[in-house]
Amino acid sequence: MKIFERSSDLQFFLDNCRNDNKAVSLVPTMGGLHDGHLRLVEKAQSLSGVVVVSIFVNPTQFATGEDFDSYPKTFSNDKFLLEERGIDVLFIPSKDEIYPNGTLSNYDVGEIGRLLCGSSRPKHFNGVAQVVNRLFDIVKPNYSIFGEKDYQQLLIIKSLVENNNLNVSIESVSTQREDDGLAMSTRNKYLSAKDRMKAPLFYQQLNNAKMAIEQGNSIEFVMQKTLSELSVNFEVEYFEVLNANNLTQIATNTAEIIIISAIRLGETRLIDNIVFRRSNV
């Protein structure tokens, strides 16, 4: 596995790969790698001859008071996991390498970035789009792979590619879960032992909502019931049942639904979602 810190060195290497007719995939991460990330890596390896994994904790997607300084840094283990899986390139740029002209940006992802997670983290998705756009500019991948746990982010990245007419295919991988159903996340490391035992109830209650909708209960009833049940164990930031294609309100002919939520458990913020199709549409 080759490790690059400078964009110019990485680009020289990738240009030679392209000259050998090798397609390139990019898996952007902030480190703290777990099995969910490794599934993204496997997907990338199935798509292209060269896989680039980036590790960069992006300051522009963190608000004041969030966990930028304390975000888990596990570089030695991350490097070991990627080497073990035969990754071609690890890109670990500095902030100056990513933002040579400073971090200020007027990029606005639009209304979708102000919904759901964006309502409590108003600059978050603009920062995500900023860094992903920059990584695309550096790596120029044929494919880039993202997880469906961050569903709102996935839609925003797809929109970024479409709006900027970028020549990259965005691929996704389903949410990877622990044996008890908890969605894998680097921030799960923040959970106390007591909270970790309670955390699987989050997914269980979202799954109960899905089954209730499939059984013909009204969405309004299911939302009220689930919100009440979630509030017993968690501080609920939002809980919504929406059109999975664009995160808008469900219409009569909406076939694909997403149940999507963010909660706080102790000091830890967790997000999760379930996407499914209504059979009666």
Q: Does 7 reside within a domain?
A: yes
Q: Are 209 and 241 in contact (CB under 8 A)?
A: yes
Token output for 270:
């967790």
Query: For residue 281, what pLDDT is reported?
Result: 53
146 and 269 share one domain: no
Q: Is the pLDDT of residue 172 over 60?
A: yes
Q: Does 110 reside within a domain?
A: yes
The residue from 4, 14, 25, 37 that is catalytic is: 37
Q: Does 195 reside within a domain?
A: yes
Q: Are strands 235-243 and 256-265 parallel, antiparallel or unpaired?
A: antiparallel
Q: Is the pLDDT of residue 280 over 70?
A: no
58 and 133 share one domain: yes
41 and 146 share one domain: yes
269 and 135 share one domain: no
Question: Is the pLDDT higher at 198 or at 278?
Answer: 198
Structural domain containing residue 212: 186-274
Q: Does 111 reside within a domain?
A: yes
Total number of domains constituting the chain: 2
Averaged pLDDT, 106-110: 85
CATH of the domain at 150: 3.40.50.620
Query: Quick one: pLDDT band at residue 208, thresholds 50, 70, 90?
Result: very high
Partner residues linked to 236 by β-bridges:
263
CATH of the domain at 250: 3.30.1300.10
196 and 227 share one domain: yes
The answer to which of 63-67, 175-179, 235-239, 267-271 has the lowest mean pLDDT is 63-67
Q: Is the pLDDT of residue 279 over 70?
A: no
123 and 33 share one domain: yes
Question: Is the pLDDT higher at 112 or at 64?
Answer: 112
74 and 164 share one domain: yes
| Model pLDDT for residues 40-93, shown as the tens digit of each residue | 999 999 999 999 999 999 999 998 888 988 898 999 999 999 999 999 999 999
27 and 116 share one domain: yes
39 and 68 share one domain: yes
Distance between CA atoms of 144 and 47, rounded to whole angstroms?
10
Q: Mapping DSSP to helix (H, G, I), strand (E, B) and coil, where does residue 213 land? A: helix
Cα separation of the two ends of the chain: 49
192 and 265 share one domain: yes
Burial readout 229-254 (b: 16 or more C-beta within 10 A, e: otherwise)? bbeeebebbebbbbbbeebeebeeeb
What is 65-127 written as a DSSP string? TSSTTTS---HHHHHHHHHHTT-SEEE---HHHH-TT-S-------GGGGSTHHHHSTTHHHH
Q: Does 178 reside within a domain?
A: no
Query: For residue 135, what pLDDT is reported?
Result: 98
What phi, psi does 15 have (nearest 5°)?
-60, -40
Active site annotation includes 37: yes
Query: For residue 65, what pLDDT is reported?
Result: 84
Q: Does 94 reside within a domain?
A: yes
Q: Mapping DSSP to helix (H, G, I), strand (E, B) and coil, where does residue 208 land? A: helix
pTM: predicted TM-score of the whole model, two decimal places:
0.94
Query: For residue 276, what pLDDT is reported?
Result: 95
140 and 33 share one domain: yes
Q: Does 264 reside within a domain?
A: yes
Averaged pLDDT, 9-18: 98
